[in-house]
C-alpha cells in the first residue's frame, strides 16, 4: 500500500471548503436559536393544565425522537414538495433541523424545569410574582442552567447532523466535500480536511457555549463552578 497524499490538489477549492463550513455554521445557528425557542415553548406546553396541548406536543416530540433525521429531512423536502409545498434547499434544511432541535430541546428543558423544587415557585407566588414572571425568573433560568451541558452537547450533535442535509444537495461542508472529491478523486484528503473543519467548528461552538454560560449564569462564574 503506497498512497501518495496530494493535499495540493485541494488548494484551488479552499474557498468552497470555507463557504461549506460557513453554510454549516449558518444552518446550525439559525436552527439552534429557533429550535431553542420552540423547545422551551414545548417544554412549557408539556407541563400545561390543558390535556390536548400536552398530547399534541407529546406526539410531536415522540415522532421526532423516534425517527431518523434523514427520514425527517426527506419527508420535509421531497415529501412536502409532492403535495405542492416547495422550499429552497437551505430553507428546508433549517426547517428540518428546527423541527428536530425543538423536540430534543423540549425534553431536555422539561427535565430541567421538573428539577426546580415546587417550594421555589411557592416562595415566588407568596411574594406576589405573576405566572409569567415566575416562569421567566424562577423556573427557566435555573432550569436551563442545570441542563446546560446536555443542551450544548445536543446542539453540537445537531451541528454534526447538518451533514445529512447534503442528501438534499445542501451546499454545507459535507455537500461541498462530496463535490470536491468527485472533481479531484482525492477523497481521502478531502474528507480529512472536512473532518478537521468539523472538529474546528465543534471547538468553536464549545467556546461559544462556555462564553454564553459565563454571561448567563453569573453565580457559576462567581463561585468558580464552571459552566
Partner 1 sequence: MSVAVKLTNVVKRFGELEVLKGVSFEINSGEVVALIGQSGSGKSTALRCINQLETIQGGSIEVCGHRVEDPKLDVRALRRDIGMVFQSYNLFPHMTVAQNIMLALRRVKGMRKDEAYEVAKPVLAKVGLSEKIDSYPEQLSGGQQQRVAIARSLAMQPKVMLFDEVTSALDPKLTGEVLRVMEDLARGGMTMIVVTHEMGFAKRAANRVIYMHTGKVWETGGADILSNPQTPELKEFMAEEL
Q: Which residues bind partner 1 (CB under 8 A)?
A: 119-120, 122-130, 133, 137-138, 141-142, 145, 217, 219, 222-223
Closer to partner 1 by CB, 20 or 142: give it: 142
Closer to partner 1 by CB, 130 or 182: give it: 130
Closer to partner 1 by CB, 26 or 114: give it: 114
Q: What cell does 183 get?
A: 472533481
User: What does the buried/exposed string (b/e) look like for 166-203 if buried means 16 or more CB atoms within 10 Å of the residue's CB?
Assistant: bbbebbbbbbbbbbbbeeeebeebbeebbeebbeebee
**Per-residue CA distances from 210 to 21, 155, 173, 227 (Å):** 21, 13, 24, 6
Helix axes 141-161, 89-114, angle to 10 degrees: 150
Q: State the minimum distance, in angstroms, from the CB of residue 217 to partner 1.
A: 7
Closer to partner 1 by CB, 125 or 169: give it: 125
Q: State the minimum distance, in angstroms, from the CB of residue 214 to partner 1.
A: 14
Closest C-alpha to 44, from 32, 61, 67, 65: 61
Q: State the minimum distance, in angstroms, from the CB of residue 77 to partner 1.
A: 42
Closer to partner 1 by CB, 54 or 220: give it: 220
Q: State the minimum distance, in angstroms, from the CB of residue 219 to partner 1.
A: 5
Q: State the minimum distance, in angstroms, from the CB of residue 148 to partner 1.
A: 12
**Per-residue CA distances from 215 to 30, 40, 131, 166, 220 (Å):** 21, 20, 25, 35, 10
Amino acid at each position: 500500500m503506497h498512497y501518495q497524499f496530494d493535499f495540493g490538489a485541494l488548494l484551488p477549492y479552499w474557498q468552497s471548503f470555507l463557504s461549506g463550513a460557513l453554510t454549516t455554521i449558518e444552518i446550525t445557528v439559525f436552527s439552534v436559536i429557533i429550535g431553542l425557542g420552540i423547545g422551551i415553548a414545548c417544554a412549557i406546553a408539556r407541563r400545561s393544565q390543558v390535556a390536548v396541548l400536552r398530547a399534541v406536543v407529546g406526539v410531536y416530540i415522540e415522532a421526532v425522537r423516534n425517527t431518523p433525521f434523514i427520514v425527517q429531512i426527506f419527508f420535509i423536502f421531497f415529501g412536502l414538495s409532492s403535495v405542492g409545498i416547495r422550499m429552497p434547499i437551505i430553507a428546508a434544511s433549517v426547517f428540518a433541523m428546527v423541527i428536530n432541535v425543538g423536540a430534543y430541546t423540549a425534553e431536555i428543558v422539561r427535565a430541567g424545569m421538573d428539577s426546580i423544587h415546587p417550594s421555589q415557585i411557592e416562595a415566588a407566588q407568596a411574594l406576589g410574582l405573576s405566572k409569567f414572571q415566575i416562569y421567566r425568573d424562577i423556573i427557566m433560568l435555573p432550569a436551563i442552567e442545570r441542563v446546560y451541558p446536555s443542551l450544548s452537547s445536543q446542539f453540537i450533535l445537531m451541528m454534526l447532523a447538518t451533514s445529512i442535509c447534503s442528501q438534499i444537495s445542501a451546499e454545507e461542508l459535507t455537500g461541498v466535500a462530496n463535490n470536491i472529491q468527485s472533481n479531484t478523486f482525492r477523497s481521502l484528503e478531502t474528507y480529512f480536511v472536512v473532518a478537521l473543519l468539523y472538529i474546528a467548528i465543534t471547538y468553536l461552538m464549545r467556546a461559544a457555549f462556555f462564553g454564553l454560560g459565563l454571561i448567563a449564569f453569573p453565580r457559576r462564574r462567581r463561585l468558580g463552578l464552571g459552566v
